[in-house]
Amino acid sequence: DKTLSKAAVDGNDSTKEDALIAFDRQVWKINHPGEPFPADAKKSKKRKAADDDSDDEVVDINPSTQKDGSNLGAFPNAKCPITGKSLLDLDDPVEDHKGYVYEKSAMEQFINKSSSGSKKCPAAGTSHQVTLADLRPCIALTVMKRRRVLSQTQPSTQVDLKGKRKQAIDLAA
């Protein structure tokens, strides 16, 4: 890393420390996707404790965490690179051999435009080729979507059961 080598040449302790923290942050992001870097979390807590009266809030923006709390960190992409839909909103999700998830119909159209039957993955920063044979149903996402639906319907079922129990108790009395 240029920053680290420059810091070593300069001999400035604060520059070295900043470079090492930046390096540690990058390693952390690779090994712990979607989790905040511990040093940042400590700074955030100190700032909040020092400024409890402030209206400013520290917000951790994590693109793999959805509004409903579902964590898509298991997948290298949070949205279909072709349709732009969140993975949880895909009708027929498929994944390639690298784990990138797409809307099946959109990816089939994308690949079929190629005369070779192979296209470069449309996700930014990737270089691997994808063929129709590489695509398989994304079982993990399907399970996640089912759990999401169950968790959304479960509280109303519990309320109904409590109401029925109450009726049974009232009838027994």
Over the stretch 43-53, which tens digit does the pLDDT of each residue have?
666 666 655 55
Average pLDDT, the chain: 75
pTM, 2 dp: 0.49
91 with 150, same domain: the answer is yes
* The dihedral formed by the CA atoms of 67, 146, 95 and 100, expressed in degrees to the nearest 10: 20
Q: What is the pLDDT of residue 63?
A: 46
Residue 146's domain spans which residues? 87-161
Residue 163 pLDDT more than 50? yes
Q: Which residue has the higher pLDDT, 120 or 30?
A: 120
Q: Does some domain include residue 81?
A: no
Q: What is the pLDDT of residue 11?
A: 57
Closest CA to 123 of 71, 167, 84: 84
Q: What is the pLDDT of residue 37?
A: 78
Q: In this structure, which amino acid lies at residue 167?
A: Q
Q: What is the pLDDT of residue 59?
A: 46
Residue 80 has a CB neighbour count (10 Å cut-off) of 23
pLDDT tens string 26-36 = 887 788 777 78
156 with 110, same domain: the answer is yes
Could you give the number of structural domains in the chain? 2
Residue 39 pLDDT more than 50? yes
Q: Does some domain include residue 92?
A: yes
Q: Does some domain include residue 32?
A: yes
Q: What is the mean pLDDT of residues 84-111?
A: 94
How far apart CA 160 and CA 43 sit, in angstroms, is 45
Instruction: Read off the pLDDT band of 148 (50, 70, 90).
Output: confident
Q: What is the mean pLDDT of residues 122-149?
A: 91
157 with 104, same domain: the answer is yes
Q: What is the DSSP letter of 88?
A: G
99 with 153, same domain: the answer is yes
Q: What is the mean pLDDT of residues 127-145?
A: 92
Q: In this structure, which amino acid lies at residue 106?
A: A
The three-point CA angle 10-11-16 to 5° equals 95
The three-point CA angle 40-45-49 to 5° equals 150
Instruction: Read off the pLDDT band of 137 (50, 70, 90).
Output: very high
